Structure 1
Amino acid sequence: MSRTRILTAAALLAVAGLSQAQDVKPHSKAAHASWQKGIQRTDLTRHDLEVPGYEAIQVRVDFEPGIASPRHSHPGAEVAYVIAGTFEYKLAGRAPVILKAGESLFIPAGTPHVATNIGKDKASELATYIVDKRQPLLKLEE
């Protein structure tokens, strides 16, 4: 399947948003994981795609005020949708972008980036990934 179809699938999954959360197992230990201090990830759904070797993953990520993610990348595209609060996203090679609740951002495969909660309250994003499942979901970048 072509890259265009993969990217189209990413966009459709972002629009579907939280409606895919029916696959959540909220009481499983794996559903809630602390990525680093001040950041809480909640796994929502994970499904194989029709594209061999690719899967869709959706997680909710909550950031305490002033907290930034480590600089990282993913082995596929990410669509970040801001559920609450205000984020600044810094993508390699681009000017910083500020997004508020209801806004979204497409992050191309392999692009190093940092998300920072620049608001005074907790901020949350819905991250939808279309990734190569044979690779780790997250790669820390320098």
Structure 2
Amino acid sequence: MKKHLLSGTLTLAVVAACLASAPARAQTQPLPTGIRRVALQRHDLATPGREAVQTRIEFDPGAAFGRHNHPGEELIYVLEGELQYQVDGQPPVTLKAGEVLFIPAGTVHAARNVGKVKASELATYLVEKGKPILTLVKD
């Protein structure tokens, strides 16, 4: 009985350590003021060298995330508020809670909260494993 209890405690400690390190891995660069990222999950895909990363991104009113890109596709689902996206080569689009957007791999884009309340999105990245999740692009 004691052996099983010790084994269970050790397993819980290992799982807790892995979960505690997940947010640190997902946040590769300092975030702009008023933006928060909450790492939710990260898993290898069946395609070798690819992984799925899911993150909740919160924007204070007026907060903006500047031009950047990702080493793979991004699927966006707006959870709350109003977010305006500027995707290179397309007119700006403003999305409300429940609306979605697809960003092709490597496409430069930016996002900002155009509402008067907090806004958030669920971002799912299907990216090359081992590369930074995002790269800021200078104008």
TM-score bracket, shorter-length normalisation: 0.7 to 0.9
Is it true that 1:104 corresponds to 2:100 in the alignment?
A: yes
- Partner Cα separation in structure 1 for residue 23 and residue 105 of structure 2: 24
Letter in 2 for 1:136: P
Residue 78 of structure 2 corresponds to residue 82 of structure 1: yes
Is the partner of 1:125 in helix, strand or coil? strand
Corresponding position: 1:31 with 2:40: no
Give the alignment's TM-score, normalised by structure 1. 0.78
* Contact map agreement 2:32 2:64 (CA 8 A) in 1: no
Over 3 Å off, 4+ runs: none
Q: CA deviation at 1:31?
A: 2.7
Runs of 5+ in structure 1 lacking a partner? 1-22
Q: Secondary structure at the match of 1:31?
A: helix
1:119 to 103, 115, 118: 115
**In the TM superposition, what are the counterparts of 1:1-142 in structure 2 within 5 Å?**
28=20, 30-31=22-23, 35-142=31-138
Structure 2 runs not aligned, ≥5 long: 1-14
Q: Name the TM-score, length of structure 2 as normaliser.
A: 0.79
Structure-1 separation of matches of 2:112 and 2:46: 33
Larger gyration radius, structure 1 or structure 2? 2
Structure 2 Cα separation of the partners of residues 124 and 137 of structure 1: 18
Two-structure CA RMSD over aligned residues (Å): 2.1
Secondary structure of the residue aligned to 2:66 is: coil
Q: Is the 8 A contact 2:44 2:50 kept in 1?
A: yes
1:24/1:45 contact within 8 Å kept: no
